[in-house]
Amino acid sequence: MKKKKWTPFDIILTFFMLIVIVVTLYPFLNILAISFNDAVDTARGGIHIWPREFTLANYQEIFGSNDRLLQAFTMSILRTVVGTIAGIIASTMLAYVLSRRDFVFNGLVGFILVLTMFISGGLIPEYLLIRKLGLINEFGVYIWPMLLSAFNVIIIRSFMDNLPPALEESAKMDGANDFVIFLRIIIPLCLPVIATIALFLAVMQWNSWFDTYLYARGNEVLTTLQFELMKIIDNANISSGDINNQNAQVIAGQTSPQSIKMAITIIATAPILAVYPFLQKYFVTGLTIGAVKS
Amino acid sequence: MGQVDSVQDTQQNLPESSSPLKTQVKPGLFSKNKKKAPKPPVQGGFWKRLSKQKALLCMSIPFVAWLIIFKYIPVAGWMMAFQDYKPQFGLFDQEWVGLKHFKDLFNEPMFYRALENTLGMGILGLVFGTLSAIAFALFLNELRFVALKKWTQTISYLPHFVSWVIAANIVITMLSTDGFINNFLEGLGLIDNPINFMAEPGLFWGIVTAADVWKETGWNAIIYLAAMAGVDPQLYEAAKVDGASRLRQMWHITLPSIRSVIIVLLILNIGNLINIGFEKQMLLGNNIVYEKSIVIDLYALDYGIGMFRYSFGTAIGIFKSVVSVILILICNGIAKRIGEGRVF
């Protein structure tokens, strides 16, 4: 391609994109700077993207002297790891069964799955179900209700549909059963799409706070980083007419200084920022395939 | 034309004649359009096939059971809306009260406030969310500076991946009396005293919409960018020959080319207008702005679970589902009438 001349239009576009970048990034950099700034100094205000009095004290406070936040951090990691692995096993297995057009119940299973995208019981029946199942204040409440999503299964299935069928057939002729084919042939070939869905599941698990709020508030061991952060925000809005408020006050103690709050925000954001540049190229293609096909 | 057809015919016939085994399993994969693919030829009776597919059966049973328990039983719970549900009895041993809870619902003024807020924020989010995503995709598509394009795109969907808890924290920090926005406005001399944004009921809808645009524009633009990548380059060449400027090319070629994508997404989003959720409203709201921040889901949460009025809360859920079905049918009908892409 030959080099084209830059027109005023190009300059305006470039300028516009730079504004988009600044608007998106500034809040994050601001929070990062405050999290590394001395808590007393922060109260004076006026910190932008560079800490004025650099200190690690806020992070030391969280990881050193605050047992509850450390507990929350561990629980967030645990639920993310277990939830992601369980979710991947469930969705790839179901997707494989649905990719087998010769399966006798293919149509029925597919129908049962897809219909869930259009109907849902709503908040109250789901809450009562979780209660009936005895999942309140149990670790299982983080895993079971989120095990499967029809959308993820459909994305994985459409990826499997595009695999060369010859591989599967030769394995079948060698006498491998369906489960062995799934484990030995399909899974290794599906790694790109599995990486995409794993990222989605991990982000969803890591970011969840409402299930803790609704189902696991009575068990301090099950508290998560997002929920602790939510309680701090809720504390700032102390007089809101929220049903949870008195409870939140008792658990979270007094209002945290701004710098500690920002340090928690950074800790809750960091794992996502760490993984997402690597997986970024996967999920864009994954999403477009899924969107176009479904 | 005839030549091309015959070449395709022989190519399609090849696998069938050369390897009969291959076509017996999944012939659908050979054809591009999966929907039109014929069903695989059935080999043997139902029971014979079933006995061969024990592994597949074992692999699907647990998940079908999961779907029934976690997705279908809650739907059966809709019965509660027509009963006076008491948790100590089973779902089938309750007292039936007909439409009592729906009548209660339509008599509560707070319900109308929640409905107004839901639709208000839903429509604002839909309009500004769609416009910003399309505009961003259009501009990004035109950007010549490839490195900047990649960077902008990567950075733009970063906020999508953080939770609303974090996003709300960021928004509250930026809008606080000593936050960036107030500093900025004071610096420009537009205001003398800092505005307490989060305590202004009149600003709440706008804050939620702006936060949503900030968080999701980049992510929502992906689908439009993908559609733009599929536009035939010859159209642009032709327009260039006719002397169309790049703005005119955007207006007359890019936008019309992605029109069906825009309309399908609009239909889907309008169907979900009432399902805007509650996360943003719950995290950004406080008691000062309660009248503007209460949405239907929060209402169901506060009145349904918070006050143990389970039947009443379920009635709210049913109302929501009915409205969203009506909305999507209307939109689909309109799309059909103007002859554009529709969802079904």
**Which value does ipTM take for this structure?**
0.86
Measured between CB atoms, which of A14, A23, A131 is closest to B148?
A14
Q: Hey, are the CB atoms on A27 and B302 less than 8 Å from each other?
A: no
Residues of B in contact with A95 (CB under 8 A): none
Average pLDDT over chain B, rounded to whole? 83
Contact A35, A266 (CB under 8 A): yes
At residue B121, the pLDDT reads 96
Q: A125-134, A234-243, B242-251: which range is least confident on average?
A: A234-243
Measured between CB atoms, which of A17, A45, A166 is closest to B148?
A17
Higher per-residue pLDDT: A4 or B224? B224
Q: Which has the closest alpha carbon to A78: A219, A223, A234?
A: A223
Average pLDDT over chain A, rounded to whole? 84
| CA–CA distance, B69 with B80 (Å, rounded to integer) | 17
Measured between CB atoms, which of A45, A124, A237 is closest to B304?
A124
Host domain of residue A262? 66-288
CB pairs under 8 A between A and B: 268
Residue B20, token pair as written in the block: 């009969």
Look at residue A239 and tell me whether its pLDDT is greater than 90.
no
- What's the CATH code of the domain at A221? 1.10.3720.10
Look at residue A291 and tell me whether its pLDDT is greater than 70.
no
Measured between CB atoms, which of A17, A112, A161 is closest to B67?
A112
Indicate the pLDDT class of residue B43, thresholds 50, 70 and 90: low
Say if residue B185 is exposed, middle or buried (CB neighbours under 10 Å; 0-12, 13-18, 19+): middle
Residues of A in contact with B313 (CB under 8 A): 122-124
Amino acid type, B261: V
At residue A125, the pLDDT reads 93
User: Would an 8 Å CB–CB cutoff place B173 in contact with chain A?
Assistant: yes
Q: What's the whole-number mean pLDDT along residues B270-299?
A: 91
Q: Hey, are the CB atoms on A147 and B158 less than 8 Å from each other?
A: no
In a mutational test of the A interface, the residue from B47, B64, B70 whose CB has the highest number of chain A CBs within 10 Å is B70
Measured between CB atoms, which of B25, B155, B180 is closest to A30?
B180
Q: What's the whole-number mean pLDDT along residues B150-164?
A: 90
Look at residue B36 and tell me whether its pLDDT is greater than 60.
no
At residue B318, the pLDDT reads 92
In a mutational test of the B interface, the residue from A9, A12, A124, A181 whose CB has the highest number of chain B CBs within 10 Å is A124
Q: Give how far A233 is from chain B: nearest CA, Å.
A: 7
Residue A91 lies in a domain: yes
Nearest chain B alpha carbon to A270: B162
Look at residue A253 and tell me whether its pLDDT is greater than 60.
no
Residue A8 lies in a domain: no
Collect all residues with Cβ–Cβ distance below 8 Å to A243 and sequence separation of at least 6.
B301, B302, B305, B306
Residue A179 lies in a domain: yes
The pTM of this model reads 0.84
Contact B165, A230 (CB under 8 A): yes
User: Would an 8 Å CB–CB cutoff place B128 in contact with chain A?
Assistant: no
| CA–CA distance, A161 with A89 (Å, rounded to integer) | 18
At residue A1, the pLDDT reads 46
| CA–CA distance, B153 with B221 (Å, rounded to integer) | 9
Helix (H, G, I), strand (E, B) or coil at A57: helix
- Give the CA distances from residue B322 to residues A103, A116, B76, B283, B296, in Å, rounded to whole numbers and listed in that order: 35, 16, 16, 27, 14
At residue A173, the pLDDT reads 82
Q: Give how far A21 is from chain B: nearest CA, Å.
A: 6
Q: Hey, are the CB atoms on A165 and B279 less than 8 Å from each other?
A: no
Residue-wise pLDDT for A33-60, tens only, equals: 999 988 888 877 778 888 888 988 888 8
Indicate the pLDDT class of residue B340, thresholds 50, 70 and 90: low
| CA–CA distance, B298 with A13 (Å, rounded to integer) | 41
Q: Give how far A17 is from chain B: nearest CA, Å.
A: 7
Indicate the pLDDT class of residue A232, thresholds 50, 70 and 90: confident
Q: Hey, are the CB atoms on A119 and B71 less than 8 Å from each other?
A: yes
| CA–CA distance, A193 with A290 (Å, rounded to integer) | 10
Interface of B with A in 2-61 (CB under 8 A): 21-22, 25-26, 28-29, 34, 39-40, 46, 49-50, 53, 55-60
Please give the tally of structural domains in chain A: 1
Residue with the two structure tokens 């955007």: B250
Measured between CB atoms, which of A97, A119, A233 is closest to B59?
A97
Residue A26 lies in a domain: no
Q: Hey, are the CB atoms on B247 and A9 less than 8 Å from each other?
A: yes
Residue B21, token pair as written in the block: 């085994």
Residues of B in contact with A165 (CB under 8 A): 22, 25-26, 29
Q: Hey, are the CB atoms on B139 and A112 less than 8 Å from each other?
A: no
Residue A183 lies in a domain: yes
Q: Give how far A64 is from chain B: nearest CA, Å.
A: 22
Look at residue B192 and tell me whether its pLDDT is greater than 90.
no
Measured between CB atoms, which of B29, B68, B142 is closest to A161?
B29
CA dihedral over B256, B258, B260, B263, signed as positive or negative: negative
Q: Hey, are the CB atoms on A45 and B140 less than 8 Å from each other?
A: no
Residue A15 lies in a domain: no
Residue B57, token pair as written in the block: 């059966």
Residue A148 lies in a domain: yes
At residue B205, the pLDDT reads 97
Residue A29 lies in a domain: no
Q: What's the whole-number mean pLDDT along residues B273-288?
A: 90
